[in-house]
Structure 1
Amino acid sequence: MTESQLITFWGKARAHIIVSQAAPTFLLTAVVGFLALGLATADPAVRIAAAGILLASGIFGALAQISAANEGLAVIADLRALEAPSALTRCIIAMAPWVNVVRYVTPAIFVIVYVAILASLFFSAPAMPFGR
């Protein structure tokens, strides 16, 4: 593959990483907002459904992020093999350690937030919405 093709593949992997974070981030934010509005006092089936939706979305999002990150690292490995890399290629290669944030740190943060939400949904005393 040419350098240009590899850079195009890198751009696609990067875009997939960004897009794969949108749905889980939105859902986590929405559930935190719903908790503030009283979701913790909702029927247990609703709370279980919310937890299940978050879990499914989180697993899918993590798998998409890890897959895109692995593809990005494969592109970086191919870019490293080029004899005379451009400045852009050298910049992409320098990003390799940060791709591991997507592979490990982002899913770990999701797990921490998910556990906190579960604790709020099932183990904390329900608060009244809007401080009433």
Structure 2
Amino acid sequence: MTESELVNLWIKSRWHLIVSQVAPTLLLAALVGFLTFGLAATDPSVRVAAAGILLASGILGALVQINVANEALAVTADLRALGSTSAVTRRIVSAAPWVNVVRFVTPTVFIVVYVALLIALIAG
């Protein structure tokens, strides 16, 4: 692949990373809002359903983030192998270690938030 094609793949991967974080973030925020306005006092089956929806979307979101992060790392490896000296390529390659935040930190944060919200749902 050419440098230009790889840079375009990086841009697409970065966009997919951003988009993959929007839905789970909105869902977590919505659940916090629902807890604030009475979800914790609803029937236990409704709370279990909310926990299940949150878990399913979180798993899917994490899988997408991990997969896209792996693809982004592959793009940076290919860019590094090209040996280009363009400023754009150097910046993309230098940003590669930060992709690991999406692979490891973001899913870990989701798990912590999920457990906290699950406790709030169960304690209802």
Shorter chain as denominator, the TM-score bin is over 0.9
Q: Counterparts of 1:1-132 in structure 2 under 5 Å?
A: 1-123=1-123, 126=124
Unaligned runs of 5+ in 1: 127-132
Q: Give the C-alpha shift of residue 82 in structure 1.
A: 1.4
- Percent identity, aligned pairs only, is 65
CA distance, structure 1, for counterparts of residue 43 and residue 64 of structure 2: 32
Could you say which structure has the higher helix fraction? 2
For structure 1, which segment, 80-89 or 69-78, has the greater mean C-alpha deviation from structure 2 after superposition?
Answer: 80-89
Q: What is the Cα-based RMSD across aligned positions, in Å?
A: 0.8
Residue-by-residue CA offset, 1:81-109 (whole Å, 9 max, x unaligned):
11233100000001111000000000000
Poorly superposed stretches of 4+, deviation over 2 Å = none
TM-score (norm 1): 0.92
TM-score (norm 2): 0.97
Q: Give the C-alpha shift of residue 38 in structure 1.
A: 1.1
CA distance, structure 2, for counterparts of residue 67 and residue 15 of structure 1: 13
CA contact (8 A) 1:79 1:85 kept: no
Unaligned runs of 5+ in 2: none
Matched residues, number: 124
CA distance, structure 1, for counterparts of residue 96 and residue 54 of structure 2: 29
